[in-house]
C-alpha cells in the first residue's frame, strides 16, 4: 500500500474523529454542569439515583420492594421539588432502608396525614449515620442546591448519632455526616467529574430509570434474639429519679454546648429555604442512658427558651421490647408508634401553620 493511499485513507478518519471530539466537548460545555453553582459536584454520589431490589421478611410476611433514592437524593420516586410540602431528616432510623416505605416513620406519618385530611406530602431525607453535623453539611451541599425546594416545615429526628460525635466535630468528618462526600480524595475527584458530565449523568439516569440492580438484598425484620436477651429499658421517670441533672450538665458541658450551637444553626439554615424546623428527640432500645437523657433534656429546654417547636418523643415512648428490631433500629411496630407520637403534637403545629 502506497504512502499516498494511506494518507487518503487516514485523513478522513482523523477529520471525522476531530469533528466527533469537538461535538462531544461542545455538548459537554453547553449541557454539562461544569459551571453550574447548583451542581452537587462530589457530594451526594452515594445517595442519588439508587434503585435496589430488597426482600423484607418477618414472622408474619415477606415483602419485595425497591429501595429508591431519587434524582434529588430523597427516598422514593422522583418528585418535583416544588411539590414537596415537608421533609423529615435524621440518620438510619429515618432512612429505614431495611423496611418497605409503608413501614417507615415517614410512611406512617404520611398515612396519618392523609387519613386526617391533610394534603401534605412528607418526603424522607434521612441519611444513614447522619448527625446534626451531617444535616448542616447537607443543607450547604444538598438542599440549597435543589431549585424550587421550599418545604413548609422540616422534622429533625435527632440525638442518637450526636451522642457518639467528637467534642469538636468538624462538619466534613465522614464518620458523622453520612458519607455525603467520599473520604477518598481521588474518588471524590472522579465523583465531581461524573456528576458534572452531561453524558455520564444521562447514562446514569437511563440506568436508574430502567435497570435496577438485579440482585436482591434481604433484610430480616424479625426481632433479634440476642437483643431480646440484653433488653433493659430505662424509662424517663427512672432517669429523672436516678440522675443528677446539674452533674450531667457539668460532665457533658462541651458536648451540650456544641450540640446546642448545631441546633441553632439548623434553625437558621431551615429559614433560608422558608421552612419551619421541628426538632424531635429520640432514644435507643436501652432508653434514657445518661448522655442521651441530658442531651434531650437540654434540647427541650433550649427549644422553650428560643421558641423552637419541639416534640419530646423520647419522654413519651414506652420501653416496649417489640419497638426495636435491634438495639438501635425500630421494628415496624416501633416506627408506627413513633409516628403516632409525632403526629399527636404535629397536628397542633399544623393548625397554626395552615
Total domain count for the chain?
2
Residue 168 has pLDDT above 90, yes or no: no
177, with CB counted inside 10 A (0-12, 13-18, 19+), is buried
Residue 170 Cα distances to 21, 53, 160, 260, angstroms: 43, 35, 18, 15
- CA gap 346, 351 in Å, rounded: 9
* 2 and 111 co-located in one domain: no
102 and 27 in one domain?
no
Which of the four pLDDT bands, split at 50, 70 and 90, describes residue 215? confident
Q: Give which of 104, 57, 38 is closest to 76, Cα–Cα.
A: 104
10 Å CB burial of residue 270 (0-12, 13-18, 19+) is buried
| CA 317 remoteness from chain centre | 22
Q: Of 335 and 29, which is predicted with more confidence?
A: 335
341 and 256, same structural domain? Answer: yes
Neighbours of 158 (CB within 10 A): 26
pLDDT of residue 207: 85
Beta bridge partners of 124: 75, 88
Strands 50-57 and 276-281: unpaired
Domain assignment present for 22: yes
Same domain flag for 19 and 120:
no
Q: List the domain range (segments joined by +) for residue 99.
A: 81-184+231-353
| pLDDT-above-70 percentage for the chain | 94
Mode of pairing for the β-strands spanning 213-220 and 86-89:
unpaired
Q: Are residues 242 and 329 in the same domain?
A: yes
**Residue 263 and residue 120 share a domain:** yes
Q: Please report the pLDDT score of residue 3 as a whole number.
A: 60
At 340 the pLDDT is 98
Which of 22-26, 116-120, 164-168 has the largest mean confidence?
Answer: 116-120
pLDDT, tens only, 286-308: 999 999 999 999 999 999 999 99
Q: What is the CATH number of the domain that holds 136?
A: 3.40.50.1110
On whether residue 52 sits in a domain, the answer given is: no
Same domain, 289 and 169: yes
CA distances from 318 to 39, 162, 212, 287, 323 (A): 44, 22, 39, 9, 9
The answer to the question of residue 128 being in a domain is yes
Which distant-in-sequence residues (6+ apart) come within 8 Å of 256 by Cβ? Answer: 249, 294, 295, 298
14 and 85, same domain (yes or no) = no
pLDDT score of 158: 97
pLDDT higher than threshold 90 for residue 176: no
* Residue 44 placed within a domain: no
- 239, part of any domain: yes
Q: What is the per-residue burial (b if ≥16 Cβ within 10 Å, else e) of 288-305? A: bebbbbbbbbbbbebbee
Q: Are residues 237 and 119 in the same domain?
A: yes
Q: Please state, rounded to an integer, the average pLDDT across all residues of the chain.
A: 91
Beta bridge partners, 217, equal: 54
Q: Which residue has the higher pLDDT, 11 or 88?
A: 88
Which of residues 33 and 171 earns the better pLDDT score?
33
pLDDT for position 212? 75
Q: Is residue 171 in some structural domain?
A: yes
For residue 194, report the phi and psi dihedrals to the nearest 5 degrees: -65, -40
The cell 416506627 sits on which residue?
A: 335
Where residue 71 falls among pLDDT bands split at 50, 70, 90? Answer: very high
- Asked if residue 197 belongs to a domain, the reply is no
Q: Is residue 209 part of a domain?
A: no
**Beta strands 62-69 and 50-57, pairing class:** antiparallel
Give the Cβ contact number of residue 322 at 10 Å: 13
Segment 332-337 mean pLDDT: 97
Beta strands in the chain (DSSP E): 50-57, 62-69, 86-89, 122-124, 153-158, 213-220, 276-281, 309-311
Same domain, 3 and 96: no
The pLDDT value recorded for residue 4 is: 59
Torsion angle of the four alpha carbons 324, 330, 333, 336, in this order, in degrees rounded to the nearest 10: 150
Q: Is the pLDDT of residue 5 over 60?
A: no
Single pTM value for the model: 0.92
Q: Is the pLDDT of residue 174 over 60?
A: no
Residues 25 and 88 in one domain: no
Model confidence pLDDT, tens digit, residues 15-56: 778 888 888 888 888 888 988 889 999 999 889 999 999 999
Q: What strands lie across the sheet with 213-220, from one edge to the other?
A: 62-69, 50-57, 213-220
Q: Which helix (H) or strand (E) holds 94?
A: helix 92-95
Both 17 and 85 in one domain: the answer is no
* pLDDT band, very low/low/confident/very high, at 184 (cuts 50, 70, 90): confident
Cβ neighbours of residue 196 closer than 8 Å, sequence gap 6 or more: 32, 33, 34, 36, 39, 41
205/195 Cα distance (integer angstroms): 11
List the grid coordinates of 251: 460532665
Amino acid at each position: 500500500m502506497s504512502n499516498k493511499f494511506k494518507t487518503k485513507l487516514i485523513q478522513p478518519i482523523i477529520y471525522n474523529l476531530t469533528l466527533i471530539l469537538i461535538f462531544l466537548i461542545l455538548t459537554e460545555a453547553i449541557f454539562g454542569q461544569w459551571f453550574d453553582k447548583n451542581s452537587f459536584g462530589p457530594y451526594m454520589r452515594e445517595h442519588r439515583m439508587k434503585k435496589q431490589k430488597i426482600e423484607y421478611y418477618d414472622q408474619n410476611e415477606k415483602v419485595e420492594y425497591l429501595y429508591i433514592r431519587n434524582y434529588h437524593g430523597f427516598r422514593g420516586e422522583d418528585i418535583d421539588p416544588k411539590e414537596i410540602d415537608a421533609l423529615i431528616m435524621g440518620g438510619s432510623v429515618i432512612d429505614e432502608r431495611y423496611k418497605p416505605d409503608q413501614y417507615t416513620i415517614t410512611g406512617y406519618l404520611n398515612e396519618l396525614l392523609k387519613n386526617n385530611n391533610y394534603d401534605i406530602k412528607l418526603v424522607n431525607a434521612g441519611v444513614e449515620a447522619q448527625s446534626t453535623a451531617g444535616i448542616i453539611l447537607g443543607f450547604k451541599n444538598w438542599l440549597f442546591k435543589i431549585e424550587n425546594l421550599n418545604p413548609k416545615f422540616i422534622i429533625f429526628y435527632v440525638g442518637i448519632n450526636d451522642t457518639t460525635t467528637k467534642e469538636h466535630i468538624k462538619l466534613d468528618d465522614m464518620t458523622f455526616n453520612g458519607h455525603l462526600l467520599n473520604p477518598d480524595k481521588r474518588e471524590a475527584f472522579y465523583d465531581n467529574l461524573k456528576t458534572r458530565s452531561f453524558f455520564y449523568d444521562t447514562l446514569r439516569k437511563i440506568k436508574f430509570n430502567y435497570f435496577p440492580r438485579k440482585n436482591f438484598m434481604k433484610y430480616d425484620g424479625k426481632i433479634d434474639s440476642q437483643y431480646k436477651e440484653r433488653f433493659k429499658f430505662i424509662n424517663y421517670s427512672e432517669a429523672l429519679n436516678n440522675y443528677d441533672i446539674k452533674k450531667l450538665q457539668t460532665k457533658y458541658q462541651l458536648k451540650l454546648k456544641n450540640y446546642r450551637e448545631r441546633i441553632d444553626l439548623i434553625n437558621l439554615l431551615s429559614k433560608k429555604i422558608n421552612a419551619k424546623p421541628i426538632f424531635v428527640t429520640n432514644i435507643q432500645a436501652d432508653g434514657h442512658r445518661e448522655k442521651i437523657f441530658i442531651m434531650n433534656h437540654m434540647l427541650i429546654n433550649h427549644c422553650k427558651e428560643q421558641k423552637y417547636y419541639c416534640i419530646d418523643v423520647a419522654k413519651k415512648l414506652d420501653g416496649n421490647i417489640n419497638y426495636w428490631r435491634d438495639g438501635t433500629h425500630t421494628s415496624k411496630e416501633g416506627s408506627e408508634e413513633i409516628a403516632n407520637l409525632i403526629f399527636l403534637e404535629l397536628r397542633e403545629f399544623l393548625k397554626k401553620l395552615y
